[in-house]
């Protein structure tokens, strides 16, 4: 209502639900490819009903390897085998988050894992296997809302707007945007282009334009792509009259982040000083993501004890953790999808991913919906603009 307007004119976020919710953590295995099978890779992980364990007694896997993971077992919210369809992954991992984003609760879906394990396949998919992004966009466009999107990339601690105007020539460097902090809004990327989108087709046009930008600016695209984080954000604005008073309209704004993270494997031995400096920058965001997850999870374990307040969470230390601060530490519904390589040849990386996922399970957030007054909503501003244009046309 009017009384809850803050001094800046925006309605202070009202609590929709005080429900505490843990981050949902799931693991998806991909199938081994023919080339991998021919070159001696074997399936080592088994999953079923959220449980993950090691395939015992596989004669082809060297005993030294299977001994190392004997008895290893993890439990997650969901597990998916190599033949699982992304539509099923979407239903179990992301759909609830997307639907709550329409109700004004921020959401975040993060894909984590080593290069080649299936992060991009899960998030973006390909022409015949739509990814989580496609299913989410489709779901949101089935309802009637005002939609905006942003698309950015973090590479070597530089934040690149993938939707900004201007040509992306072979040599044109992508501009580095600052991640600033606002006392009420929290962290935001200054000057990031927001595009109004009115159809699914428009979303894909912008996304492929963004992808072209990523490609054209580089000669070593594959390397860059496995080393960069890509954040696609849908901003869903939902205006409706209040239940009590038809004239008082409020607008709920839900931000939905869908993140394809850089490969989690360590970056190769850097020889030159320049390469060392670069590799530090390349790893920084992922390193601090891991730190943030560890600290948040330790804090959640200590909660109730006096210790809980003494955990410093290093959100500020990297671009990625700043951008995801509200998603990880705050009031968002979040899901982590770990893409897991099925082969026995990648035990170290797989175990690292699983331990990371295991920590993330403990993190809790308190759900809360975001409101602004109707006057402040983009849809109200648009209606004003349209009314003005009509006036001008009549003259
Ligand atoms: P990442 O983004 O983690 O580096 P990709 O998503 O590019 O990995 O996947 C690597 C390869 O594996 C691609 O050729 C992709 O099509 C294939 N792939 C990944 N996950 C699956 C899956 N669940 N089913 C079938 N093929 C997959
Ligand atoms: Mg990828």
Q: Label residue 91 by pLDDT band (50, 70, 90).
A: very high
The CA-based diameter of the chain, rounded to the nearest angstrom, is 85
206 pLDDT exceeds 80? yes
| Ligand 1 atom at shortest distance from the alpha carbon of 113 | 3
| Ligand 1 atom at shortest distance from the alpha carbon of 80 | 23
Beta bridge partners of 239: 251
Give the pocket of ligand 1 (CB within 6 Å).
30-31, 113, 115-121, 226, 263, 339
Lowest average pLDDT, out of 15-24, 45-54, 99-108, 315-324, goes to: 15-24
Distance 275 CA to ligand 2 centre (A): 22
Lowest average pLDDT, out of 96-105, 135-144, 332-341, goes to: 135-144
> Nearest bound ligand to CA 229?
2
DSSP 94: I
3-state secondary structure of 41: coil
Distance 262 CA to ligand 1 centre (A): 14
pLDDT digits (tens, 9 = 90+) for 219-256: 787 888 889 999 999 999 987 765 555 666 778 899 99
From 116, 122, 229, mutation site for ligand 1 pocket: most ligand atoms within 8 A of C-beta: 116
99, two tokens:
């639907």
| Ligand 1 atom at shortest distance from the alpha carbon of 115 | 4
| Ligand 1 atom at shortest distance from the alpha carbon of 28 | 23
Decide: 127 and 285 in contact? Cβ < 8 Å: no
Q: Whose CA is nearest to atom 10 of ligand 1?
A: 116
231, two tokens:
């954040």
Beta bridge partners of 80: 28
3-state secondary structure of 313: coil
Predicted local distance difference test score (pLDDT) of residue 9: 38
DSSP 60: T
Distances (CA, A) of 314 to 284, 295, 319, 322: 12, 8, 11, 9
Distance 155 CA to ligand 2 centre (A): 14
Measured in whole angstroms, the distance separating CA 68 from the mean position of its chain's CA atoms is 32
- Phi–psi pair at 50, nearest 5 degrees: 85, -10
Q: Pairing mode, if any, of strands 20-22 and 24-29? A: unpaired
236, two tokens:
């869903």
Beta bridge partners of 46: 53
Dist CA 21 CA 105 (whole Å): 12
% residues pLDDT > 70 (the chain): 89
3-state secondary structure of 167: coil
From 118, 120, 129, mutation site for ligand 1 pocket: most ligand atoms within 8 A of C-beta: 118
Average pLDDT, the chain: 87
Lowest average pLDDT, out of 56-65, 115-124, 181-190, goes to: 56-65
Measured in whole angstroms, the distance separating CA 354 from the mean position of its chain's CA atoms is 18
153, two tokens:
């990339």
DSSP 92: I
190 pLDDT exceeds 90? yes
3-state secondary structure of 255: strand
Beta bridge partners of 294: none
pTM listed for this prediction: 0.87
Distance 278 CA to ligand 1 centre (A): 27
Q: Whose CA is nearest to atom 24 of ligand 1?
A: 30
Dist CA 197 CA 162 (whole Å): 15
| Ligand 1 atom at shortest distance from the alpha carbon of 111 | 3
Dist CA 159 CA 32 (whole Å): 34
pLDDT digits (tens, 9 = 90+) for 318-335: 999 999 998 887 789 999
Does ipTM surpass 0.95 in this model? Answer: yes
> Nearest bound ligand to CA 353?
1
DSSP 287: H
Interior/surface letters 227-265, b for 16+ CB within 10 angstroms, e for the rest = bbbbbbbbbbbbbeeeeeeeeebbbbbbbbbbbbbbbbb
Distance 332 CA to ligand 2 centre (A): 24
């Amino acid at each position: 209502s009017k009384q809850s307007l803050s001094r800046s004119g925006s309605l202070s976020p009202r609590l929709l639900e005080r429900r505490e919710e843990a981050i949902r953590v799931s693991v998806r295995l991909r199938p081994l490819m023919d080339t991998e099978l021919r070159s001696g890779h074997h399936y080592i992980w088994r999953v079923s009903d959220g449980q993950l364990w090691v395939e015992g007694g596989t004669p082809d896997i060297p005993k030294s390897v299977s001994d190392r993971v004997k008895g290893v077992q993890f439990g997650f919210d969901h597990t998916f085998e190599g033949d699982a369809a992304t539509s099923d992954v979407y239903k179990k991992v992301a759909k609830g988050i997307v639907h709550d984003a329409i109700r004004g609760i921020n959401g975040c879906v993060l894909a984590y894992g080593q290069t080649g394990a299936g992060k991009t396949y899960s998030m973006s998919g390909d022409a015949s296997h739509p990814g989580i992004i496609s299913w989410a966009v489709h779901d949101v466009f089935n309802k009637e809302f005002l939609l905006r999107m942003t698309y950015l990339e973090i590479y070597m601690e530089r934040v690149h707007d993938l939707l900004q105007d201007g040509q992306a020539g072979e040599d044109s460097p992508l501009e580095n945007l600052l991640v600033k902090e606002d006392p009420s809004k929290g962290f935001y990327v200054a000057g990031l282009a927001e595009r109004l989108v009115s159809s699914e087709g428009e979303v894909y046009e912008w996304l492929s334009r963004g992808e072209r930008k990523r490609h054209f600016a580089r000669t070593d695209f594959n390397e860059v792509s496995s080393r960069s984080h890509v954040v696609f954000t849908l901003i869903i604005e939902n205006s409706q009259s209040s239940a009590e008073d038809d004239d008082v309209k409020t607008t709920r704004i839900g931000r939905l982040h869908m993140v394809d993270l850089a490969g989690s494997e360590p970056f190769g031995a850097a020889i030159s000083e320049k390469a060392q400096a670069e590799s530090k920058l390349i790893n920084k965001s992922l390193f601090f993501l891991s730190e943030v997850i560890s600290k948040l999870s330790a804090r959640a374990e200590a909660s109730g004890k006096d210790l809980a307040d003494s955990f410093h969470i290093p959100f500020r230390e990297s671009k990625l953790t700043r951008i995801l601060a509200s998603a990880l530490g705050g009031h968002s519904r979040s899901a982590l999808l770990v893409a897991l390589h099925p082969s026995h040849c990648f035990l170290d990386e797989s175990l690292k991913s699983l331990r990371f996922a295991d920590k993330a399970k403990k993190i809790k957030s308190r759900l809360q919906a975001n409101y602004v007054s109707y006057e402040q909503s983009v849809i109200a501003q648009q209606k004003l603009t349209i009314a003005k244009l009509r006036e001008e046309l009549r003259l």
